[in-house]
Amino acid sequence: MNSFFERRYIVAGIFIAFILMLLGRLFYMQVVDDRYFLFAQKNVVRRYIQFPARGPILDRTGHIMVQNEPVYDMIVLPALVKNLDTAELCKVLNIDTATFIKRMLKAKKYSPRLVSIFEREITAQQNAYFQERRSEFPGFDTQTRSIRTYPDSSAAQFLGYIGEVTDAMIKRSGGYYSPGDYVGITGVERSYEPLLRGQRGVENVLVDSRNVRKGSYANGAYDTAAVAGERLISSLDMRIQKLGEKLMQNKVGSIVAIEPATGEILCYVSTPTYDPNLLVGKERGNNIAKLYKDPYKPLFTRPVQAYYPPGSSFKPLSALIAMQERMIDPQTVYVCRGYYIAGNRKVKCFHGEVHGAVTLSTAIAHSCNGYFNMVFEKLINRKGGRNTDTSYSEWRNNVMKFGIGHKLDLDMPAEGRGLIPKATYYDKLYRKGGWRSSTITSLAIGQGELLATPLQLANIEATIANRGFYYKPHLIKSIGDRQVIKREYTLKNYVGVDSSYFKYAINGMQQVVEVGTAASSKIPDIIMCGKTGTVEVKNHKDNSVFVAFAPRDNPKIAIAVIVENSGQGATWAAPIASFIVEKYLKGTITKRSSGIYPEYYENANLLPIIEPKLTPKEKMKQDSLKRIKLDSLAKLKLKRPAKEPLEKDTANNSKAILPKTKDDE
């Protein structure tokens, strides 16, 4: 009997312990651990990301350059996809079953219990049809976001483009971005991404078992509103930006214009260019693939990435350094015989022109190579031949103060440094002590290894316009309603040349436009100071270069124009620059006494012919066709009648050996 009661207490104790364990587990599940609450909640509450409108970008006058357009994306929560009419959904989205399966597998791989994008940018009609039949597609829904649109289809390389985030970007963002999010890839879109993207919001919605919305969860107590991105006011003037792109169409090159008093960039042209609207929408992938394959590289941002020898546009800078170092004065006379003796070789002026006795100003005006070879020799040899490397290093440091050879810290990604080789470069090339000023005399006239970006060339002109200093160039004027820019863009950067020397170089630059090499580009009622450059390019036609600022007193614009493989600086770059300058200063372009007019330059096609690169298979096929053609011709000759008139054969032969006419003849 006692044994029975003992067993009863033991069994009762086990039951009580089990009940206590259940109660404890229930308490833990309902009070301590909220995972199960969340799992249950997901069956009735859907969490929708509210994507903010990306900040618009305007030009300096308030003209809209890029804005937003609403679109719909279809999203999916794989764990809820059950009893789905796959064929009907494929019909709605206009996709096939294989595509559906591929996307579902991708969504499940990302997470069965997290929302991911299934189809981007469905039409308003597709969205309306889907909303009417939502209950037939469990696990699927739509969300609204915005895409970029470009009213003027202009300034593509400046604005840049946005694209879907990669895994690496998601990792670097510390969890801010998720698959399917968009981010700035290039241009201003990338540089100012944290400001433009805004702040995402969340909407919690109650749904029933058929995935039909039943209203807001907790009256929106847990919702957060999306905050639109900041509005950016750029420094560009779309009047001259669009004009520059028209003038440079069907050409390879760049235009950069700067306001000297602020460092704000007024014009930022890179050609060939592209319509930024091509990189928006469903065809974005196909379009960007075509742009990448384009041999003229429209995605290449030439204002900051292309390196060019500055050519004769470098001469005023060289003269300023020589005056500062007391190697010459404004009255120093050089007698030009059409060439300069550099060591044991003759360095000719352009086409062997004989300039006679020239001073600094007239040497700039008529672009006398010999004068600047002489100036360079004085600078590099001033400490004697054994100390060439020391003198060269000092010259190099002085040139770098003008902004060449290092980044100008533009608010734009992928800015190039340009190139001014160190003395050690020439030591390796010619051995230490084995080179002199005559070895590298091409640097005196902006050729040789000296390379600069168009931005750097324009910045040099802004420096000369300011008589000895520059503000770091930048592309954003203000953010939102705040006139906020980086402090570094408000500081003067002095180049170490006394302001009194600049007037002599400027006198020469004024003569370039008044009576010198760019006289045909003179602007009525505006004093423009400039310098042409005709830059030799190995195995190609010369690059046309022109740099300038205007007006002479209280300058409002500094500019650099480069047209690749087009000829002399006065022929192409100078007229294009003059039209930009006049449009900016006057608002119109007036008739020129020289007879030049914008339409001629807009319609000119100077694109170099690029031979397509053949694969080995295509090359073999082409060679085979040539052989077949040659064999056919040989057989035809063998079948020719023996008594065919000799005159006909002679005529054919004489025609075959006529010399080809050159393009410039």
Tokens (6 digits) for 405 = 């050879």
Alpha-carbon distance of 521 to 387, in angstroms, equals 44
Q: How confident is the model at residue 569 (pLDDT cuts 50, 70, 90)?
A: very high
Q: What mean pLDDT do residues 636-657 have?
A: 41
Q: Cα angle vertex 527, ends 524, 531, to 5°?
A: 110
- Mean of per-residue pLDDT scores for the chain: 86
* Cβ–Cβ < 8 Å for 165, 177: yes
Q: Would the pLDDT of 28 be above 80?
A: no
Q: Would the pLDDT of 647 be above 70?
A: no
Alpha-carbon distance of 316 to 479, in angstroms, equals 37
pLDDT tens for residues 488-529? 999 999 999 999 999 999 999 999 999 999 999 999 999 999
pTM: 0.82
The CATH T-level fold of domain 45-229 is: Penicillin-binding protein 2a (Domain 2) (3.90.1310)
Alpha-carbon distance of 542 to 544, in angstroms, equals 6
Angle between helices 124-132 and 86-93 (to 10 degrees): 150
Alpha-carbon distance of 224 to 504, in angstroms, equals 64
Q: Give the containing element (helix H, strand E) for 214.
A: strand 213-216
Q: Would the pLDDT of 659 be above 60?
A: no
Alpha-carbon distance of 184 to 92, in angstroms, equals 31
* Cβ–Cβ < 8 Å for 80, 41: no
pLDDT tens for residues 308-320? 999 999 999 999 9
pLDDT tens for residues 113-162? 778 889 888 888 888 888 888 888 888 988 888 889 999 999 999 999 99
Strands 201-207 and 140-149 turn out to be unpaired
DSSP state of 404: -
Q: Would the pLDDT of 467 be above 80?
A: yes
Q: Would the pLDDT of 660 be above 60?
A: no
Q: How confident is the model at residue 30 (pLDDT cuts 50, 70, 90)?
A: low
Q: What pLDDT, on the 0 to 100 scale, is given for residue 648?
A: 37
Q: Would the pLDDT of 628 be above 50?
A: yes
Q: How confident is the model at residue 112 (pLDDT cuts 50, 70, 90)?
A: confident
212 Cβ contact list (under 8 Å, min separation 6):
134, 135
Tokens (6 digits) for 455 = 């931005």
Kindly write down the DSSP assignment for every residue of 461-511, as one continuous string: HHHHHTTSEEEPPBSEEEETTB----GGGGSEEE-S--GGGHHHHHHHHHH
What number does CATH give the domain 238-603? 3.40.710.10
Q: Tell me what percent of the residues of the chain surpass a pLDDT of 70.
A: 87
Alpha-carbon distance of 115 to 50, in angstroms, equals 13
**What single-letter amino acid sits at 412?**
M
Q: What mean pLDDT do residues 259-264 have?
A: 97
Q: What pLDDT, on the 0 to 100 scale, is given for residue 661?
A: 28
Q: Give the containing element (helix H, strand E) for 270.
A: strand 264-271
Between 346 and 470, the more confident residue is 470
Q: What pLDDT, on the 0 to 100 scale, is given for residue 615?
A: 66
pLDDT tens for residues 33-75? 555 544 455 557 777 777 888 999 999 999 999 999 888 889 8
Q: What pLDDT, on the 0 to 100 scale, is given for residue 664?
A: 29
Tokens (6 digits) for 550 = 């205007």
- Evaluate the omega torsion of the peptide bond into residue 272 and state whether it is cis, within 30 degrees of 0: yes
pLDDT tens for residues 307-354? 999 999 999 999 999 999 999 999 999 999 988 888 888 888 877 889
3-state secondary structure 389-405: HHHHHHHHHHHHCCCCC
For the chain, what percentages of helix, strand and coil (3-state, to nearest 5) are there? 45, 20, 35
Alpha-carbon distance of 37 to 427, in angstroms, equals 74
